[in-house]
Amino acid sequence: MLRDDIIEYSLEGHHSEEEGVKLRKTIWKVTAILTIITALEVAVGIMFPKSAVSEGVWTAIKISYIILTLVKAAYIVLSFMHLGDERKAMRYVILIPYFIFALYLIFVLITEGNAIFAALTQYAS
């Protein structure tokens, strides 16, 4: 039985070969950027283990991980959720609260981690 209430959208997608090339180029660009950021994070983690660097350098590495992760997450949202096609104000309305919330979570993690560490060292001695 053939139903006439189901629309096959893939048959309605008429675009030229130039548009297809542009779409494939965008996909490769997104893949390359995300791969480069991930490879950079992994390379820093391999090249600079915590035992081989000073405390100040280790803090800088942690901050750089946080920044790279936020940049990668924002780029994923802009690319895969098509937020990059929206107006700049719309992008800011969505991304700024996300960044504020992520920074708040990081603040809570650091604060609570320091409190737990202080409590453990106090009761251990």
Domain identity same for 95 and 45: no
Q: 1 lies in a domain?
A: no
Domain identity same for 50 and 102: no
Domain identity same for 41 and 93: no
| Residue 86: strand, helix, or coil | coil
84/68 Cα distance (integer angstroms)? 19
Q: 6 lies in a domain?
A: no
Cβ-contact 83, 94 below 8 angstroms: yes
- Given a cut of 80, whether residue 4 has pLDDT beyond it is no
For 43-74, what is each residue's pLDDT tens digit?
Answer: 988 998 888 889 999 889 988 988 888 889 88
Domain of 63, in residue numbers: 16-85
Q: 8 lies in a domain?
A: no
pLDDT value of position 50? 86
Whole-number average pLDDT of the chain:
85
Short-list 91, 112, 109, 113, CA closest to 101:
109
125/94 Cα distance (integer angstroms)? 48
Q: 94 lies in a domain?
A: yes
Rg (alpha carbons) of the chain, rounded to whole number: 23
pLDDT value of position 36? 94
Domain identity same for 125 and 66: no
pLDDT value of position 23? 83
Domain identity same for 107 and 57: no
Confidence band, pLDDT 50/70/90 cuts, at residue 84: confident
